[in-house]
Structure 1
């Protein structure tokens, strides 16, 4: 039990630091998505008329890729939580 008491503050502190230092808060994500939409529109406006549809498709592909990256970050955070939980279980079993 002593090893749990010794490790728990470090684990909790690391997770708190992760949350505090996270760059993807809801407000920031909304602003980034809005900016992405504006940039896609600018890309479409820059493309010649015959390439406009192609530029729009590229912009949409970029948007989908950003969504996939966001989901991957969420998955990474979930896995980190599982790793932390397994560490705690291991420490508890040692006691």
Structure 2
């Protein structure tokens, strides 16, 4: 159990680092976030021009982007949880104790 206690802070810090650094990646998530920022800027411009139909369409696009970003974050967290859980189980199993997961 001491080994578990020794590795747990490193595991937690690693997950925090992953979440902090994910926006720096050139992956799909970063692309969605950039699209969302661009859409917000365009929406602000349309609001000033009184182009309500175009603004409505842009809001719908933004809602879809927000949903995609949300799904990507959930998927990322789920996959990382599986990896962490499997690693933790191997570590504990190496000590002769197998937790119920």
TM-score (norm 1): 0.53
Aligned to 2:82: 82
Deviations, residues 10-58 of structure 1 (Å, cap 9, x unaligned):
1133345667x59xxxxxxxxxxxxx5x9635424436x5xx4244212
Structure 2: which 5+ runs fail to align? 22-39, 96-101
More helix by share: 1
Paired residues of 2:43 and 2:59 also in contact (CA < 8 A):
yes
Paired residues of 2:46 and 2:54 also in contact (CA < 8 A):
no
Worse-superposed segment, 38-47 or 67-76: 38-47
Aligned to 2:11: 11
Aligned residues: 82
Larger RCO of the pair (alpha carbons < 8 Å, separation 6+): 1
Aligned to 2:62: 62
Structure 1: which 5+ runs fail to align? 23-35
Aligned to 2:43: 40
For 1:4 and 1:78, the matched residues in 2 are separated by 21
Question: How much is the aligned-residue C-alpha RMSD, in angstroms?
Answer: 3.8
